[in-house]
Structure 1
Amino acid sequence: MSTSKNLLATVATAGLAPWLVAQGLRVRRTTPRLPGASGPLTGLVPGPDPLRLLVLGESTVDGVGADTHEEALTGWLASALADRWGRGISWRVAGRTGANARTVRAELLAGACREPADLVVVALGVNDTIELRSAARYRRDLLALVVDARRVLGPVPVLLAGVPPLGAFPALPQPLRLVLGLRGAALDAAAATLATLPGVTYWPVPREVVDPALFAADGFHPGPSGYRLWAEQLAEIAYGQSPGGRALV
C-alpha cells in the first residue's frame, strides 16, 4: 500500500511540477507566519507518581497556533494523560518550527534526552512532505530517531503521531493540496510500519482534527481546540483504549 501511494505521489509531483512551484511560492509569501507557543518548555500537571513525558517534533510540537504550551499539543496531552492515569505528568517539549525528522535527531535529540522519560511522543512529517523526501528516506530518518532516543533513554515506549493529512489544510490551494496530501499519505504509511517494533505504537492523525474550524489563523496549524482534540486521541491510545490495546506505560 505504501509503495502504491508513493508512486502515485511521485507521478503527480512530476506532472504538475511547474504549477506546484508557483503555488508553493505564493503560499509561502501570503500565509501568515505565526510564532511558536510562548512560556516554559517544561511543566507539571500535579498528581501522585508523576509520569515523565517527552514530546519531540516540528512546529506542532513548537506550539505554532497556540499562545502557550498548555494550549498546544504537549500541554493538552499531559492533561489528558493525567486524567486517564490519575497521576501527575511532568512534561517537556523539544520542538522546532521547520524541522524534519533528520534535523530533530541531529539537533534536538541529545538535549532532550539529558533527563529520563517514561513516554516519548513524536510528531513529525509535514516538513519532510513539503521537502519532497521519499517515504523510504522518511522511514529511515524516523527509525534512526527512535533508535537513538531509546539508546539513551532505555526501552522507553514511543508513540508516533501520524503525518497530518495535508490534503485537508485550508491554506493550500489545489492542485498543491492534492499532491502534498498524496505525498504525506505515503510518508504516513511508511511511518506506520515502524509499529512492528517492540515498544513502538503508531496512530494516524484523526480526520476530525483537520476540520477547517479548528485551524489557527494561518490555515496550516491547529488552533488550541485542534490541539486538544488531537491530544485526546493520542492519550486514548497511550492509555490503551485502541481496539485490543493496552496501556503503553
Structure 2
Amino acid sequence: MLVVLETRSKHLISPQLTPQALKARKNATSLSEPPGHRHGVLGSGPDLHLLIVGDSSAAGVGAPRQREALSGQLTQALAESYRVSWRLVARTGSTTRTTLPLLRAQDVQDTDVALVVLGVNDVTSQIPLKRLLHHRAELYRRLFEDWGAKRVIATGIPPIDKFPLLPNPLRWLLGLQARRFDHALARQAASMGVDYMPFDVPLTPQMMAEDGFHPGPNAYHLIGKKVAAQILHR
C-alpha cells in the first residue's frame, strides 16, 4: 500500500512508507469479527427499525461478543425506550464503495434509522476525495430512497493519528488525510439531510482493542450511548 497525501494541486506519493503500511495493515486485520447475532428484536415500547451499515468497527472487531460491540451497546441503550428491530450489515475492510454492493445484496426492509459507520478504510485505501463523496452520496440516497430511512446518521472518521498501532510518519500522514476527509464528509452530510456525528471518544489505551487499531468494548459502550442519545433526541 502506498500512502498518498492529497493537496489541491497534486498527490504526494510516499513509497518509502510502504513497509510501514503493509505491516500496519497485516496487524490491523489480526482480530476477527466477534460472534453473536446480527439481527433481532429487543426491548418494549414504540417500534424502531434500525439498520447499522459499515466496516470492521460496525461489525464489532475489538469486542469479544456482539453484545459488547457497537450493535449490542446501541440496541441495549435504545431498548430502554423502544422495541428495537435491528439489523447489522457490516464487513471488515469495507469502504464506502464496497458497501454499496453489499447493501444491494440485502433484502430491503422498513427503516426508521440507518447508522453509517465508515471512513477509516476510505482513508487508507487512498481513494480521491471527490470519488469518496460521490460514493457516499450514492449510499445516502439508497438508504433514503430504497430503504425508506427516515433518518440517516453517519459517524465521523476517528483521529487516525491517535491509533497506537501506526508508526510515524505514516500515522501523521493518515491523520492529516482523515481530518480533511472528515471535514468534507460533514459538509456533504449537512447538505443531504444526514446527521453527522463527529468522533469524540478519547482513544486512550483503555478505549482501544489489543491490536491498537480498533475500538475496544469501553469505546463501543461510549459510542453506543452517544448514538442512542442522538436518536432519542429527536
TM-score under structure 1 length normalisation? 0.85
Unmatched tracts of structure 1, length 5 or more: 241-246
- Deviation at 1:26? 2.4
Contact 1:113 1:149 (C-alpha < 8 Å) held by counterparts: no
- Deviation at 1:207? 4.0
Cα deviation per residue 1:26-83 (whole Å; 9 max; x = unaligned)?
2234556000021221122221223111000011111111122211111111122233
Cα gap change, 1:19 to 1:162, in 2 (>3 Å): same
Counterpart in the other structure of 2:88: 93
Alignment match of 1:230 (pick from 215, 223, 230): 223
Contact 2:38 2:87 (C-alpha < 8 Å) held by counterparts: yes
Cα deviation per residue 1:197-241 (whole Å; 9 max; x = unaligned)?
454110111142x2222111111111111111111122222222x
Contact 1:101 1:128 (C-alpha < 8 Å) held by counterparts: yes
Cα deviation per residue 1:86-106 (whole Å; 9 max; x = unaligned)?
222121100000110011012
Counterpart in the other structure of 1:75: 72
Distance in 2 between the 1:136 and 1:214 partners?
Answer: 32
Given residue 7 of structure 1, which amino acid in structure 2 is its aligned partner?
T
Matched, 1:136 2:136: no
Given residue 167 of structure 2, which amino acid in structure 1 is its aligned partner?
P
Counterpart in the other structure of 2:211: 218
Counterpart in the other structure of 1:50: 47
Q: Which SS does the other structure have where 2:161 is aligned?
A: helix
Alignment match of 2:33 (pick from 17, 27, 36): 36
Q: Which SS does the other structure have where 1:139 is aligned?
A: helix
Matched, 1:182 2:176: yes
Matched, 1:125 2:119: yes
User: Percent identity of the aligned residues?
Assistant: 34
Cα gap change, 1:26 to 1:53, in 2 (>3 Å): same
- Deviation at 1:140? 1.2
Task: Give the count of matched residue pairs.
Answer: 230
Indicate the larger mover: 114-123 or 132-141. 132-141
Q: Which has the higher helix share?
A: 1
Unmatched tracts of structure 2, length 5 or more: none
Q: Which has the higher strand share?
A: 2
Cα root mean square deviation, aligned: 2.1
Q: Which SS does the other structure have where 1:160 is aligned?
A: strand
Given residue 45 of structure 2, which amino acid in structure 1 is its aligned partner?
P
- Deviation at 1:141? 0.9
TM-score under structure 2 length normalisation? 0.90
Distance in 2 between the 1:126 and 1:140 partners?
Answer: 17
- Deviation at 1:116? 1.2
Given residue 103 of structure 2, which amino acid in structure 1 is its aligned partner?
L
Distance in 2 between the 1:33 and 1:158 partners?
Answer: 31
